[in-house]
Amino acid sequence: MKRPLWIIILATSVILNLSFLAGYAYQKFSAGPEFVEDGLNLTPERQARVIELRDRFLQQAGRTGGQMGELHGRLIDAIAAEPHDPAAVEAAFDQIRQCQREMQQLVADHLLSEKRILTPEQRAAFFSGLKERMRSQAHGPRWLSQERNGWK
């Protein structure tokens, strides 16, 4: 007996949506605090200062990340262009590297600012938490995995 195509499509859609919801719920509720600082038992004053720094950082990082996306688009356009212009590709790479340096400096400045707010015990927990989060959320292609390359 042949089922109508719309039933198969509807069932597939429901299954996919439930899968996405389950994945989101698992990530949202099992990952611990959203930010490492949220688990440090900060005083209200320190918490306010950290939130202010974090908000400013996230705004700046969002702008820089948006620029990075635009630059990657330009790189793809330069690579796809006919005739091929190696100077245009290299210029696009240079712009991306500059933007990456800006993002790295932004992150380092932010971490140093937060470090000054925290007590020595909180600093140790903060940086340990950052390293653990980086290990557990490492993304990228399988050929660049931590296990394969022996990263600790």
**Residue 113 in this model has a pLDDT that exceeds 70:** yes
- Across residues 81-93, what is the average pLDDT? 92
5 — pLDDT class (breaks 50, 70, 90):
low
Cα–Cα distance, 67 to 99 (Å, whole number): 8
| pLDDT computed for residue 23 by the predictor | 67
What does the alpha-carbon distance between residue 147 and residue 118 come to, in Å, rounded to a whole number?
33
User: What letters, b where the CB count within 10 A reaches 16 and e where it falls short, cover 63-92?
Assistant: ebeebbeebeebbeebeeeeeeeeeebeeb
Task: Name the residue ranges covered by the structural domains of the chain.
Answer: 44-135
Averaged pLDDT score across all residues of the chain: 81
Given 3.40.50.10490, 2.40.170.20, 1.10.3720.10, 1.20.120.1490, which CATH number is that of 44-135?
1.20.120.1490
